[in-house]
Amino acid sequence: MRFSKLAAAYEKIEATSGRIEMSELLGRVFKQAEPEEAKRVVYLTQGKVAPPYEGIEVGMGEKFVEQAISIATGYSRKEVENAYRASGDLGKVAEKFVNERKQSGLASEELSVERVFNVLRKIAITSGAGSQSSKVKALAELLNSASPVEAKFIVRFPLSKLRLGVGDPTIIDALSMARKGDKSARKEIERAYNLCSDLGSVAESYLSDERLIRDVRVRVFSPIRPALAERLPSAEEILKKLGRCVVEAKYDGFRMQVHKSGERVEIFSRKLERMTPMFPEIVEGIKRQVGAEEAILEGEALAFNSATGQYFPFQMTIQRKRKHGVKEMAEKYPLHLFVFDLLYADGKDYTKIAYAERKKKLKEVLKRGERISIAEGREVSKPSQLEAYFEEALEKGLEGVIAKDLKAPYVAGAREFAWIKLKRSYRGELSDSVDLVIVGYYLGKGARAEFEFGGLLCAVLDENEDRLKTVARIGSGFSEEEMRELKGALDKIKLKERPKKLDALVEPDVWVEPKYVITVAADEITRSPMHTCGKSGEEPGYALRFPRMVQSIRRDKGMEDATTVYEILKMYDQQRRISWSNR
Q: Which of 449, 521, 433 is nearest to 487 (CA)?
A: 449
CB atoms within 10 A of CB 496: 11
In 10 A of CB 340, how many CB atoms? Answer: 26
Catalytic residue among 48, 183, 250, 501: 250
250 belongs to the catalytic site: yes
Other Cβ atoms less than 10 A from the Cβ of 541: the count is 22
Phi-psi region of 55 (alpha: psi -120 to 50; beta: other; left: phi over 0): left
Long-range contacts of the stretch 213-219 (C-beta < 8 A, 24+): 213/188, 213/189, 214/188, 216/191, 216/192, 217/349, 218/296, 218/343, 218/344, 218/349, 218/351, 219/344
Q: Is the dihedral of CA 284, 285, 289, 294 positive or negative?
A: negative
Check if the beta carbon of residue 222 is closer than 8 Å to that of residue 193.
no
Contact yes or no for 230/415 (Cβ under 8 A): yes
Backbone φ and ψ for 248, nearest 5 degrees, come out as -120, 155
Q: Is 514 exposed, middle or buried (0-12, 13-18, 19+ CB in 10 A)?
A: buried
DSSP readout, 458-495?
Answer: EEEEETTTTEEEEEEEE-SS--HHHHHHHHHHHHTTEE
Residue numbers annotated as active site: 250
